[in-house]
Structure 1
Amino acid sequence: MRTGMMALAVGLLAPVFLPALPPVGWMLWLPVVALMLLPFRSYPLAFLLFGFAWSCIGAQWALDERLPVELDGETRWVEGRVVGLPQSGDGVVRFELADARSRHGKLPSLIRLAWYDGPPVNSGERWRLAVKLKRPGGLLNPDAFDYEAWLLAQRIGATGTVKDGRRLAEAQWAWRDGIRQRLLEVDTQGRGAALAALVLGDGSGLSREDWQILQDTGTVHLLVISGQHIGLLAAVMYGLVAGLVRFGVWPLRWPWLPWACGLAFAAALGYGLLAGFDVPVRRACVMVALVLLWRLRFRHLGAWWPLLLAFNGVLLMDPLAALRPGLWLSFTAVAVLIFTFGGRLGPWRWWQIWTRAQWLIAIGLCPVLLILGLPISLSGPLANLLAVPWISFAVLPPALLGTLLLPIPYVGEGLLWLAGGLVDGLFRALALIAGRWPAWVAPSMPGWILALGCIGAVLLLLPRGIPLRPLGWPLLLVLAFPPREQLAEGMADVWQLDVGQGLAILIRTRHHTLLYDTGPRFGDFDVGERVVLPALHKLGVERLDLMLLSHADADHAGGALAVASGLPVSRVISGDPSGLPEVLNAETCESGRQWQWDGVAFHLWQWGDAQDSNQRSCVLQIEANGERLLLTGDIDTAAERDLLNSVLAVPTQWLQAPHHGSRSSSSMALLKVLQPRDVLISRGQGNSFGHPHPTVIARYRKQGLRIHDSAEQGAIHLQLGRFQPARSMRQQRRFWREPPQPGATHR
């Protein structure tokens, strides 16, 4: 049976690694084949087929719930009920609408909406809204957070922007929202948002600085509802009953073990309901239930069997849970503890067990974090050594009791005031640790390096005395110093990052790095900080020899400060330095300036008669082994006419579409002189400017250009000097990603 359960787990996980799901007919036949195999005792194969079919059917069901293509970009009146906890900040209200209905077509059952400058929205209310609907999608960059996969795992079938709306019915059964409001209203020494995260699992109120501190110290799991909190509360309830039995206080007519297990599960389930009972909480409750059931019925069969059952139970309840990093991290952490402490003898004191557990979990999770593309906290073992007992035993009890006792004057508020002060003290200590040891974002690594790291971690988790155990350290350290592929002399590696309605292009030669523009910043959302800087780290960029900002508009230079604060930048040049922050110390673009890096030629140009910031864009020509790329910023047709009188008016294989393909650029004269083979367009999906304009797209097609559009293809990668086609992130097929469709939106 254990082999069958392992086969079931493999089958449930397999679809996550598929580029596309099998046809529906095959999926429906697989359970029938699995049942036919059972009489022949082929349990592993039968369970494998059943798990695979179940997971594929669940994934296909979620895909079928997505917004129909014909409604993408359309504005519809939608009615539905607000679910979850709405988030407000920076003038935007974000919430999810369930049971969405429209008179003009079927809609997904769950839609994620944003309402700019909208009124307060509360959970449980019914609204009628005018929504501009969009199919699920997101920015797609190398080894970055996959927002499209996250939306699918959340069963969100569409996103949208609210244009107008009115409330149809007041909130019903919105007790969680009411509790959150009370937590934010009472005096918690400025830490109401942290207590809301701890009690309700709502981290939307935490500031970016708080999130950065938690990430740098590896303590994010402490301020969101995790298996640790659910398990702790269950353990406390179980221990309370066991303690009453030990001291002879428990009534003899009540069998203590069933009561202890029942009350422990009731406490875990109650906490889960308080936290919204989303997927991570459901996963924790399933694990607690199986552990308690095993304790009640089978007391001596070890820990691996319940862990495997819990893993399969979670995936059977939600096959798409495998798309969530939390599933892998939580089960890996538990497996590491079972593997390292299970069945071993030794005179370890409690404090030795606690300190070793933190270091062993850090070692075991290291390769998993790298595979998932997540940062690694260098201070995590030390920070968790202090923070876990502080949250578990000092903060969580008064926070939960204070929440439950809020109806009693002064008592609940006093407990929450105490809990808030304890959380504030913890954040101050974690800030000191984070300032000294920030999280490490590792560059992308080939699979064989990650495999060696996994082997090294497993060897280090083995008991002392195993002959091969000392090899674990060098194998694990390979992850910290992976071999890097060097570019050939005279070649340039180019990435047009997917930054939405903006521009950011990375150019690397053998020993130098240049970043042309840094992506947009809109209000508090800084793409330079959230997208460009992580992408640079993932691509192995440690410093920038030059940051070239074409001009000062926010969609091109908005992320400059974030990039400059996150990486050493030797020099900054801009076509409009007066419009940039003085701290960047930007130099003026000198038209005609040339230089060479590692056999690659660079040439700057700027229109001398420019009247506005767009026209002042600093144009950069890059030539590698006779293949040219022209980066044009936001110049218009007037600047293009002057460009055709410069030395840059030569055949150019790659052209970055001027001004994102606007109607006022990409003149036919420019295209005929440059004779580009490919054009790069960087823009946001469904942007309000209408970029790229249909007439410009028609012009490109008339000239026979290959169009590479970031909104359709994600980040685009090419190697200048090889005269080879570009590759896009969307060509890395995953079943939840639609295949690249160049020009699909330019009809």
Structure 2
Amino acid sequence: MRTRMLALALGLLALNVLPALPSVGWLWGIGMTGMLCLVCRWAVPGLFLLGFAWACCSAQWALDDRLRPELEGRTLWLEGRVVGLAQQGAHSVRFELAEASSRRAQLPQRLSLSWFGGPPVNSGERWRLAVQLQRPSGLLNPHGPDQEAAMLARRIGATGRVRAGERLAPASHAWRDSVRQRLLVAQAHGREGALAALVLGDGGALAQEDWQVLQATGTVHLLVISGQHIGLLAGLVYGLVAGLARVGAWPRALPWLPWACGLAFAAALAYGLMAGFQVPVRRACIMLAVVLLWRLRFRHLGAWIPLLLALNGVLLVEPLASLQPGFWLSFAAVAVLVYVFGGRLGAWNPWLAWCRAQWLIAIGLLPVLLALGLPISLSAPLANLVAVPWVSIAVLPLALAGTLLQGLPLLGEALLWLAGGSLAALFWTLAQVAHWQPAWTPVALPIWAWLMVGGGTVLLLLPGGLPMRVLGWPLLLLAGCAPRNEIAHGQLEVWQLDVGQGQAFVLRTRHHATLYDAGPATRGSDLGERVVVPTLRKLGVRELDLALISHAHADHAGGALAVQRSVPLVRVVGGDPDELPGQLQAQACASGEQWQWDGVLFSLWRWQQAGDSNQRSCVLHVDAGGETLLLTGDIDAQAERAWLRESTAGPVDWLQAPHHGSRTSSSQAFLERTRPRGVLISRGRHNAFGHPHAQVMARYQALGITVHDSALHGAVRLVLGSFGQAVGQRSQRRFWREPT
């Protein structure tokens, strides 16, 4: 049975590695072959093929439900019902709309919308909205998250911005939203948002600083509904019925064991529904159902059977769940516990078992976190040692009881006040731990190093006393000291990062690193912190020899402060040094300055007669073994003419499109003189400025210049000095990514 369940799970999970989905004909063939295998009693291959066919069909339905390309960028009037909990920010509201319909077009079933300056939006309401729609897309950077995969897993068929709207009908059956509203106005020591996250799985009201503390201490699972919350509530209900039966207070006409199991599962299911029934909750409910069934009928059922049942149950209901990191972390954590505590001789005392569980989970999840490119909390074992029982025993019962008893104002408010105070004390403690030991973002490992780390993890999880177990430690240490991707002497690795409507380049020689621009930062979104800093760390950059900020506009300089806070900077140079953010001390860009690192020649230029910030952009020219790159910032046609008058002006191999391809730049004379074979454009998809302009694109095409656009190709990498081609991240085919 275990082998057959594993075969079905592997078939369902095989979806993740597909560059493209099979055609309908192939899927019919695979499905029929699977059925034939089952008829012939070849259960293992049959279940694998049927699981694979079902996962592919489900994925194809999700892809077919995406917005049609001809509707992209258009503003349509549509109607729909708000589902889930809307995320109300200071200046905007984000929400999901289901059952969307329009008289002018067929729309996806689920939309993710944002409304800047819009009114409050509540779950269950029906709205008529004017929305500018886009196909699902997101930033794509080396070793970073894939937002398109996440949206496909949630079956989001389009995103959009609301331009206007009217409420057609009030909320109906929106009890989750009403519970959230009551929690957010409770007096809970300023931790009302944390209570909503704990009770309802709604993290929208948590501040960014709180998320950073939770991530740094590896305790995010405590504030999103997880299996431990479900298990704790079920255990409390089961224990209550069992206790009443033991003291004779349970009705004799009702057999206590079936009732205890039934009420425990009902309480867990109700809590899961209140929390939105996400992947960890589904897994926990299925496992709990199997365990309770085992308690009633099958005492000798091993722990792996419930885990495999839960895995297959979740994937059969939603095959795309495996595209989300939380799916892998959730099941991996339970698998580690089952492996560590199952089938071991002897017994551990409770305190020793609890301590070992925290350390072994941290070790067991290390390969998963490395594969997913997520930060690793070195303080997680210590933080969870205290935080898990604190939340489970003190906070959660008070929060749930206070929520259920809100109809009794004094009692409900008192319980929520106590729960909020407990959360406030917990967050203060976690903040101290996070300050002492921040989260660690390791260098991205090559596949061979990751396999060795995985092997070391397996060895360390073996029972104590087994030979060769100690060899797991040196293999595990590869995660922290794996060799960097060495760059040859005289060559330069160039990354144009995907930062939306902004710009950031990472330049690396063999022993030196430079950042040219730091990405945009707006109110509530700092791409320097979200994209640039994690990418630097994953590329192995621990110190920047030079941070060159072309000019002071927010789309180029906005992320510089986040970079300065996280990465040591040897030197900062700016084309607009006096206009940069106050804490950023920069030297002025000096025309004619040259230096050489590892056989690569760098030189600076700035127009001395510049009249505005764009014209003052500091231009960087790089020569690696005769192959050249020109980074121009936001210079316009006038600054381009000034550069052409310089004696060093001439052809280049690669050109960063001045001013994101604006009509005021990339003049005909400039392009004819530089004659690049490739141009790099950094811009946001469907940006409000119309970058790149059609006239500029026509010039590139007429001159035979290959365009590498971050909005279409994601982050772009080239190795200067190798005379090779630039490669975009989207060239790594996945079935959910559109071909470029």
TM-score by length of 2: 0.99
1:66 aligns with 2:62: no
Show the counterpart of 2:637: 637
The Cα shift of 1:193 comes to 0.2
Show the counterpart of 1:677: 677
Paired residues of 2:443 and 2:480 also in contact (CA < 8 A): no
Show the counterpart of 1:394: 394
Residue-by-residue CA offset, 1:105-147 (whole Å, 9 max, x unaligned): 1100000000011111111111111101000000000111111
Structure 2 distance, partners of 1:469, 1:245, is: 47
Structure 1 distance, partners of 2:330, 2:583, is: 43
Show the counterpart of 1:187: 187
The amino acid that maps onto 2:414 is: G
Structure 2 distance, partners of 1:293, 1:317, is: 21
1:525 aligns with 2:525: yes
Residue-by-residue CA offset, 1:202-230 (whole Å, 9 max, x unaligned): 00111111000000000000001111111
Paired residues of 1:55 and 1:319 also in contact (CA < 8 A): yes
1:125 aligns with 2:125: yes
User: Larger deviation: 7-16 or 24-33?
Assistant: 24-33
Show the counterpart of 1:404: 404
The amino acid that maps onto 2:590 is: E
Show the counterpart of 1:55: 55
Show the counterpart of 2:343: 343
Show the counterpart of 1:297: 297
Structure 2 distance, partners of 1:190, 1:409, is: 19
Paired residues of 1:90 and 1:524 also in contact (CA < 8 A): no
Structure 1 distance, partners of 2:648, 2:613, is: 21
Paired residues of 2:125 and 2:169 also in contact (CA < 8 A): yes
Paired residues of 1:67 and 1:108 also in contact (CA < 8 A): yes
Structure 1 distance, partners of 2:454, 2:485, is: 22
Paired residues of 2:286 and 2:309 also in contact (CA < 8 A): no
Show the counterpart of 1:568: 568
| Match runs of 1:409-424 below 5 Å | 409-424=409-424
| Match runs of 1:303-342 below 5 Å | 303-342=303-342
The Cα shift of 1:294 comes to 2.6
User: Larger deviation: 485-494 or 289-298?
Assistant: 289-298
- Count residues in correspondence: 740
Structure 2 distance, partners of 1:333, 1:731, is: 33
Show the counterpart of 1:628: 628
Q: Secondary structure at the match of 1:547?
A: strand
Structure 1 distance, partners of 2:66, 2:281, is: 25
Q: Secondary structure at the match of 1:707?
A: strand
Residue-by-residue CA offset, 1:693-735 (whole Å, 9 max, x unaligned): 0000000000000000000000000000010001110001111
The Cα shift of 1:582 comes to 2.8
Q: Secondary structure at the match of 2:518?
A: coil
Q: Secondary structure at the match of 2:481?
A: coil
The Cα shift of 1:347 comes to 4.4
Structure 2 distance, partners of 1:699, 1:579, is: 33
The Cα shift of 1:346 comes to 2.4
Show the counterpart of 2:247: 247
The amino acid that maps onto 2:324 is: R
User: Larger deviation: 260-269 or 477-486?
Assistant: 477-486
The amino acid that maps onto 2:306 is: P
Paired residues of 1:294 and 1:306 also in contact (CA < 8 A): no
Show the counterpart of 1:614: 614
The amino acid that maps onto 1:549 is: I
Structure 2 distance, partners of 1:191, 1:417, is: 9
Residue-by-residue CA offset, 1:567-622 (whole Å, 9 max, x unaligned): 00111110101111232111110011111111101110011111110000000001
Structure 1 distance, partners of 2:118, 2:409, is: 34
Show the counterpart of 1:238: 238
Structure 2 distance, partners of 1:729, 1:647, is: 37
Over aligned residues, Cα RMSD in angstroms? Answer: 1.0
The Cα shift of 1:293 comes to 2.1
The Cα shift of 1:242 comes to 2.2
Paired residues of 2:213 and 2:434 also in contact (CA < 8 A): yes
The amino acid that maps onto 2:9 is: A
Structure 2 distance, partners of 1:213, 1:658, is: 39
Q: Secondary structure at the match of 1:30?
A: helix
Show the counterpart of 1:137: 137
Show the counterpart of 2:23: 23
Structure 1 distance, partners of 2:485, 2:687, is: 37
1:732 aligns with 2:732: yes
Structure 2 distance, partners of 1:683, 1:337, is: 46
The Cα shift of 1:97 comes to 0.5
Paired residues of 2:73 and 2:132 also in contact (CA < 8 A): yes
| Match runs of 1:704-743 below 5 Å | 704-740=704-740
Q: Secondary structure at the match of 2:479?
A: coil
Residue-by-residue CA offset, 1:445-499 (whole Å, 9 max, x unaligned): 1111111111111111111121121111111111111112321111100000000
The amino acid that maps onto 1:600 is: V
Show the counterpart of 1:87: 87
Structure 2 distance, partners of 1:243, 1:354, is: 25
The amino acid that maps onto 2:502 is: G
1:41 aligns with 2:41: yes
Structure 1 distance, partners of 2:561, 2:133, is: 33
Show the counterpart of 1:744: none
Paired residues of 1:621 and 1:648 also in contact (CA < 8 A): no
Q: Secondary structure at the match of 2:488?
A: coil
1:493 aligns with 2:496: no
Q: Secondary structure at the match of 1:199?
A: helix
Structure 1 distance, partners of 2:284, 2:153, is: 17
Structure 2 distance, partners of 1:485, 1:71, is: 43
